[in-house]
Amino acid sequence: MGVSITFLGGAGTVTGSKYLVRHGDESLLVDCGLFQGFKQLRLRNWTPLPIAPNKVQAILLTHAHLDHSGYLPLLVKEGFHGKVYASSGTQALCKILLPDSGHIQEEDALFRNRHRSSKHETALPLYTSQDALNCLPHIKAVEMGKVCQPIPGWKATFQDAGHILGASSILLEVAGRRILFSGDLGRPDDTLMQPPAPPPFADTVLIESTYGNRRHPPDNLQNELEPILQRLAHRGGIAVMPVFAVGRAQAVLLAIAELKAAGKIPHALPIFLDSPMAVHTTHLFETHKGEHRLNTHQTHAMAHAATMVNSMDDSKALAARHGPMVILSASGMATGGRVLHHIAHHAGKHQNMIILTGYQAPGTRGATLAEGARTVRIHGRDVMVNAEIVQLQSASAHADQHQILNWLRHMPKAPDQVYVVHGDLPAADALRCGIQRDLGWRAMVPEHGSTWPL
């Protein structure tokens, strides 16, 4: 029998990446992500996969962001017992992100039950922090550039994709076919990470398209943040910055540290990082030297740019403080966690800001705010939005359309087929058109749930 791919996520949407590769009776998943954003997407997290978890023999993770790894605790809970192969950086981050994801889900369920804001009789988490801890022993670290065998006769090679710590592209070889999964590609000029390694030859390519219809502005994060934070300090306001705990939080912290060191924003402007996950991730940069482009001075400055907030009591205490100050808190699209409480508390005042640090997927609260809505629904109630909404344009850790096409252009020869994945439909289709127009390659945007033979 031939090789096939079933698109169980990340198809026509920028979330929930899961790609099921089958050959005969053998199968593995590349990525195991949560759906986020619109409710109809999030409901897919509660729908069983079309394959029993105990029939999946292995999993390969491109990186640790929850839209690529966050379904793993549930899959293990429901019977997956194989190994999960990932880079050492991804393994380290999963130890932070996955238990935190379970904890946030438990907290949100408790809050909804306490305030009777759930449409269900009892709100339940998709999985718990203990479920996440139970899945961690399955994750096996593999070395970049070394071939591993997730299934006898199947070969997988991980290579640096930039983007965040441990992020990888994966070349999978099975039954004479070479399938390249780009994962999320970083920018060649990223402030934290090295540029993605050039792609190897493959018959089939799955290419991400988060920014498939956009070009990054020439400005950098420091230049963009400087006038915003000067304005905030001048009027004594409070800025809430929803950040991705991995990558975006660290890039913002480094920019703030360097702005203060250069005297471009007030040195006394208080900065708080209210996310245990982001706090732990920030310190990983000091222990994973060589996996990013920062020197010792920069990692130290980044790690000391903010007051680190870990406990829930300290997080709640921030509500009693007066401005000016900046609160960085996960999650990056305001889909859950402590950042929702900060937005609910501060969004109503004109002198305050909500600073969105990058792309906001449709259906998320971040997208609602970016669109200029005057109310946003948080924990079952509508919160007035009078604060200034600012959306940064230069903080993304994703390659843009030009950079993605340039990465593909470095393949030794043209592949037989390109599948454009992990992008909203406008972005995915724009990249498909770019691949066909500029490279002359066959490209398509697969539908969710579709299966294609290779």
Q: pLDDT truncated to tens, each residue of the chain (454 aa)?
A: 799 999 999 999 999 999 999 999 999 999 999 998 888 999 999 999 999 999 999 999 999 999 999 999 999 999 999 999 999 999 999 999 999 889 888 888 887 787 766 666 678 899 999 999 999 999 999 999 999 999 999 999 999 999 999 999 999 999 999 999 999 999 999 999 999 999 999 999 999 999 999 999 888 999 999 999 999 999 999 999 999 888 899 999 999 999 999 999 999 999 999 998 899 999 899 888 888 999 999 999 999 999 999 898 999 999 999 999 999 998 889 988 899 999 999 999 999 999 999 888 888 899 999 999 999 999 889 999 999 999 998 988 999 999 999 999 999 999 999 999 999 999 999 999 999 999 999 999 999 999 999 9
Residue 287 burial class via C-beta count within 10 angstroms: exposed 0-12, middle 13-18, buried 19 and up? exposed
Res 117: pLDDT: 61
Bridge partners, residue 177, by sequence: 174
> What is the Cα Rg of the chain in Å?
21
Provide the token pair at 356.
């969105």
Res 368: pLDDT: 95
Res 277: pLDDT: 85
Res 118: pLDDT: 60
Res 379: pLDDT: 85
Sign for the CA dihedral angle at 292, 218, 437, 420 comes to: positive
Res 138: pLDDT: 98
d(CA 274, CA 337): 10
